[in-house]
Amino acid sequence: MVDESNRESAKKFIDSNYSPTFCIKPFTEICNNARGGMKVCCQSHVSILEPDQLTHTTYANELFNNDKFKEIRNAMQRGDRIEACRNCYEWEDSGGYSMRIEYSNRLIEKDKHLVDKIFRTGTPVVKSLDLKMGNKCNLSCVMCSPGSSSLIAKERKQYPPSDELNMGGPIENIEVDFNQDQFNEIKKVAADIINVKSTGGEPMLLPGFKDLLEYLVQHGYSKNIKFTTVTNGTVDFSSYLHLMDQFKDFDVLYSIDGIGRTYNFVRYPGNWDSVSKKHRRVMQSIKQNNYSNVYIGASVALSVYNVHQMSDILSYVHEDLQINGVVDFNIVREPEFMSPALAPKQVIDQALHSYRKKIDELLQQNIDLGDRDNVDDLLLRTVSKLNDDIETKKQLISCLHTMNKYWKDVRNKDAYDYIPFLKDIK
């Protein structure tokens, strides 16, 4: 990761030497979704290709030869903005440090000659994998989708949401697995890979996840790879730690989208007491066995349901768990009616006040906060943008309350009991 003092210089270097929209990912990364389609990267809010749109035989061939990916790369070379990449642009516009800059800079530091050649010729080279190895999951989180959770797929097939919510069409397949052909495709490019990210579904429940770790370790590739995975924390993965420690770096990000009762609502049917015990058990195992290459962090999907707990989450991961990794806050954009910007003004003001105060407290304790993105600035920009579009805001509020009713009917979970200020959103 780039030191905070060097963020701006990294962005200036990339923008001036390549282009203001250049990102290394569409030139070097295979990124799939759990149902077999392809995306630009995990930060993108849309898929470029769905499974029935694939025109070539392998993921690598799609990246190299598909016309849609070619046009994205051409546009980046010209400096044009890509709709699929708007999340990174919004982070940068708010002064934050985007994935576009982080990943591009990471490869520049490792092999600038390769990046120069890629930009000059437009020729892709597979150096990174971002894999969803199926959608099997034991949670049905409020902001998630059937493509990433078999539990949600099962629920929505049985209880379809109203058309007003625009939650997608009929559910065809409840559970999607990463098949052997897909795994064999990954093996073909494994020797040149330097970055891997694996999500799901829940990675710790997917057989392909452990198979991938074992394959990379057994063939000696792991020592050259920075591996990142995001887990819901409901599975004690201590038995995987000896494999993880054989990678150059292995980052495990816990999805922590609330504390206590808020967590129990957002990450249904999860239980905060149970999952927090597993968090501690894994941290204890890392320390006892001195797994020096394994870093535990947290990823927070910031929504209207948990924006009031920003400081509580920071306190939990840094002070209670004493994690050795970073905490990433990502504003929920899909579905848009769960945006944290819909929370009442007084809730947002108090949340930001507590968040900034907690940041100062942690810095005074000499706690390494890593690269702190300007989530507070981005949140305020999102609020301002929504307040400027009153009709859209009214529609989103209507959808939010309709969805809350859906969960009360289907899950017997009343959002207003768990997060009382939701009643004040009008």
pLDDT, tens digit, for every residue of 290-325?
999 999 999 999 999 999 999 999 999 999 998 877
Run of H or E including 131: strand 128-132
In angstroms, the CA 400 to CA 303 distance is 11
Residues 70 and 149 in one domain: no
CA-to-CA distance for 21 and 85, rounded, in angstroms? 9
The answer to whether residues 244 and 346 belong to one domain is yes
Q: Average pLDDT by consecutive 10-residue portion of the chain (426 residues)?
A: 63 94 95 85 85 84 92 96 90 82 91 95 93 92 92 93 78 78 85 91 92 95 96 95 97 96 97 96 95 94 97 94 85 93 97 94 84 79 91 96 96 96 95
Q: Residues 146-161: pLDDT tens digits?
A: 988 999 999 999 999 9
| Helix ranges, 143-220 (H) | 150-158, 180-189, 207-218
* Nearest in space to 286 (alpha carbons), one of 276, 275, 296: 296
**Contact criterion met (CB below 8 Å) for 299 and 330:** yes
Q: Which residue, among 382, 391, 389, 419, has the nearest Cα to 404 in the 3D structure?
A: 419
List, as one string, the DSSP characters of 281-327.
Answer: HHHHHHHHHT-TTEEEEEEEEE-TTTGGGHHHHHHIIIIIS--SS-E
For residue 370, what pLDDT is reported? 66
Residue 2 is predicted with a pLDDT of 42
Say whether both 48 and 105 belong to one domain.
Answer: yes
Shared-domain flag, residues 144 and 107: no
Range 275-306 burial, b when 16+ CB lie within 10 A, else e: bbebbeebbebbeeeebebbbbbbbbbbbbbb
241 with 298, same domain? Answer: yes
Helix runs in 54-97, H state only? 59-65, 67-78, 86-93
**Distances from the Cα of 341 to the Cαs of 80, 84, 221, 264, in angstroms?**
28, 21, 43, 22
CA pair distance 61, 98, nearest whole angstrom: 27
Own/partner pairs, 316-319, CB within 8 angstroms, 24+ separation: 316/256, 316/259, 316/276, 317/254, 317/256, 318/362, 318/367, 318/369, 319/362
Same-domain pairing of 81 and 157: no
Calpha distance 319→316 (Å, rounded):
6
CATH number of 239's domain? 3.20.20
Give residue 169's pLDDT.
63
State which of 107, 126, 145 marks the end of a domain.
Answer: 126
Residues 53, 140 within the same domain: no
Which residues span the domain enclosing 47? 4-126
pLDDT score for 1: 38
Residues 252 and 396 in one domain: yes
| Domain-ending residue, one of 77, 111, 126 | 126
Contact 84, 26 (CB under 8 A): no
> If DSSP codes are grouped into helix, strand and coil, which group holds residue 278?
helix
Q: Within this chain, do residues 110 and 199 fall inside the same structural domain, yes or no?
A: no
Same domain for 121 and 215, yes or no, is no
Which of 102, 126, 150 terminates a domain? The answer is 126
Q: How many domains does the chain have?
A: 2
154 and 223 both lie in a single domain:
yes
Tell me how far apart the alpha carbons of residues 333 and 143 are, in angstroms, rounded to a whole number.
9
Residues 170 and 71 in one domain: no
